[in-house]
Amino acid sequence: MRNLLLTDRTRMKLKSPLGNLIIGSSEETMSALKEILKKEKPKKLFAIGDFITHNLMKYGIETNLSIIDNKTMRKNIEPTQLDGIKVIKSRNPPGMITAEAWDAVKKGVEDPSITYIVVDGEEDLLTLPVINYAPLRALVMYGQPSKGVVLVWVTESKKKEVEALIDEMEEV
């Protein structure tokens, strides 16, 4: 894959959630999520962001892949303890998706073991490659600051929507 830079047009589109927003506190959103997982049984589970990853761990919800940058709301936080968990490191500056990050996400999505990608830079935009590489009926989750959790079910139409967003980005 190539290095891509976020354009103003794409940035505006990404301000709206890519999926369903569950509004509420951490306790409320995790409780709702547990019910959804029990009922819908996603093929795989992916999390993008430190806050959601921390909450999933706290509430005993195991993901196939989590992507973190050890920051919340662009402020450094205590690094997540990942002892005994497979870790892929990747560089990804803010507002970009690097070729290195594309490769890390592909490996992480395809790996059958529980995997974490620790990003040097920013992980937010890596939601797009996760959806791109994820199998159908997978569930991708990320936080919506001060609101709740966004749940994105991977479908053919969602993959096409994400592909259009990626195509709008500028190659650098």
pLDDT single digits (tens) 66-92 = 999 998 766 777 777 777 789 999 999
pLDDT of residue 78: 76
Region of residue 53 (left: phi > 0; alpha: psi -120 to 50; beta: else): alpha
User: Taking the domains of the chain in order of start, what are their residue ranges?
Assistant: 1-13+45-136+161-172
Q: What pLDDT, on a 0 to 100 scale, did the predictor assign at position 84?
A: 75
pLDDT score recorded for residue 77: 72
Work out the number of other CB atoms within 10 angstroms of the CB of residue 139: 23
CB environment 47-83: b (16+ within 10 A), e (fewer): bbbbbbbbbbeeeebebbbbbbbebbeeeeeeebeee
How far is Cα 114 from Cα 87, in angstroms, rounded to an integer? 9
Q: Check residue 71 and give its pLDDT.
A: 86
Helix (H) / strand (E) element for 72: namely strand 71-72
| Spatial distance between the Cα atoms of 57 and 135, rounded to a whole number of angstroms | 23
Full-prediction pTM beyond 0.85? yes
Instruction: Extract the residue ranges of the chain whose pLDDT is less than 50.
Output: none
